[in-house]
């Protein structure tokens, strides 16, 4: 656990500021007061494990905790690499995009995850676009319905 704490602190310090001073802790480190705060939710990881395993297969509590910790470390490392890609781009943006995460996966020698992640990202974007269009269409229809109702009603005093 001590190694994980040192790794996280080192990674966060390097990526939070271009001018790193070892005696000063960057302000962004206050987001997670304890290393446990950076873990993925155990219930979500347990549900993903349950969905991935065959029915009737059980996993011990210690194994679930180990997988949860390993997944958390992987996500932190991937985030750190993605952040490094953004900072190396010398652009003024501070947001890590999906393309940055996919590039980081390739850089970390996890190319086999890059294609499924691209597909999932495209699927997510298309679902979001469809959802947005349906909301807009629904708003237009309700707005048009109000206009039709107003056109059908006679003006004041004109029966």
Q: What is the pTM of this model?
A: 0.60
Which pLDDT score, from 0 to 100, does residue 152 have?
Answer: 54
pLDDT score of 23: 39
**Buried-exposed string 51-74: b where 16+ CB fall within 10 A, e elsewhere:** eeeeeeeeeeeeebeebbbebbbe
pLDDT at 122: 92
Give φ, ψ of 26 to 5 degrees: -60, 150
Architecture of domain 2-109: Orthogonal Bundle (1.10)
Question: Which parts of the chain register pLDDT below 50?
Answer: 1-2, 4-5, 7, 9-30, 159
Euclidean distance between CA atoms 92 and 49, whole angstroms: 38
Domain boundaries, the chain: 2-109, 113-159
**SS3 of 150, please?**
helix
């Amino acid at each position: 656990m001590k190694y994980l704490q040192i790794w996280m602190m080192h990674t966060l310090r390097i990526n939070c500021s271009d001018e790193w001073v070892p005696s000063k802790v960057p302000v962004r480190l206050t987001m997670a007061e304890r290393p446990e705060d950076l873990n993925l939710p155990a219930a979500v990881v347990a549900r993903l494990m349950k969905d991935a395993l065959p029915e009737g297969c059980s996993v011990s509590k210690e194994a679930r905790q180990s997988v949860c910790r390993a997944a958390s470390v992987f996500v932190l490392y991937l985030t750190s690499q993605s952040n490094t890609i953004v900072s190396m781009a010398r652009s003024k943006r501070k947001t890590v995009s999906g393309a940055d995460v996919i590039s980081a996966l390739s850089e970390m020698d996890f190319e086999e995850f890059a294609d499924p992640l691209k597909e999932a990202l495209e699927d997510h974007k298309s679902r979001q676009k469809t959802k947005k269009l349906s909301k807009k269409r629904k708003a237009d229809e309700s707005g048009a319905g109000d206009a039709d109702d107003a056109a059908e009603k006679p003006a004041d005093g004109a029966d």
